[in-house]
Amino acid sequence: MIPLTWFIGLGLILFMIGVAGVLLRKNIIIVLMSIELMLNSVNINLVAFSYYLDDIRGQIFAIFTITVAAAEVAVALGILIALVRNRRVLNSDDMDSLKG
């Protein structure tokens, strides 16, 4: 049987890669993909604990996480399209109109 720690370790590494993507990349599409990566690593943790604790709630939570992620992607990409159409920027550093 696979130790639980392996799954948590995998989730941790994927989450850290996602954080690195959010912090290092400027292309907003890739930043959004990195956020998806982070949500997925959390799902791994939820399902792993659900399996090892023999509790269905982790999986239900993971299903809701996936659903919310789908809704979030739809809205985020809609905002991105509106942004590119109005401001012609696809770079997170150029979006500084609130900076004063």
Partner 1 sequence: MILERLFFILFAVVAIAAAGGVVCFKNPVHSAFSLIVCLLQVAAIFVLLRSPFLAVVQIFIYVGAVMVLFLFVVLVLDIKKASLETFPGLKRWPVYVILPVMAIEFLIVIFGKSFAHMQMAEAGAETTVEVIGLALFTHYLLPFEIISVLLLAAMVGAIIMAKKRWN
Partner 2 sequence: MLLTYVPVLFMTGFITVVAIGVLFVSSLVRPKNPYAEKLTSWECGIESKGESNTGHYKVHFFVIAILFILFDVETLFLFPWAVILGDPTIATLAFIEMFVFIGILSVGLVYAWGKGALDWL
What are the backbone dihedrals phi and psi of residue 54, each rounded to the nearest 5 degrees, phi first?
Answer: 55, 50
Token pair in block for residue 34: 């990195």
- As measured in angstroms, the least distance from the Cβ of 98 to partner 1 is 18
What b/e readout covers 59-84, taking b as 16+ CB neighbours within 10 angstroms? eebbeeeeeebeeeeeebeeeeeeee
- For partner 1, which is the closer residue by CB, 72 or 95? 72
- 41 burial (CB, 10 Å; 0-12 / 13-18 / 19+) is buried
Options 18-26, 30-38, 43-51, 59-67: segment touching partner 2 (CB under 8 A): 59-67
The contact set with partner 1 (CB under 8 A) reads: 1-2, 4-10, 12-14, 16-21, 23-27, 29-30, 32-34, 36-37, 40, 43-44, 47-48, 50-54, 56-57, 59-60, 62-64, 66-75, 77-82, 84-85, 90-91
The contact set with partner 2 (CB under 8 A) reads: 63, 66-67, 70-71, 73-74, 77-78, 81, 85
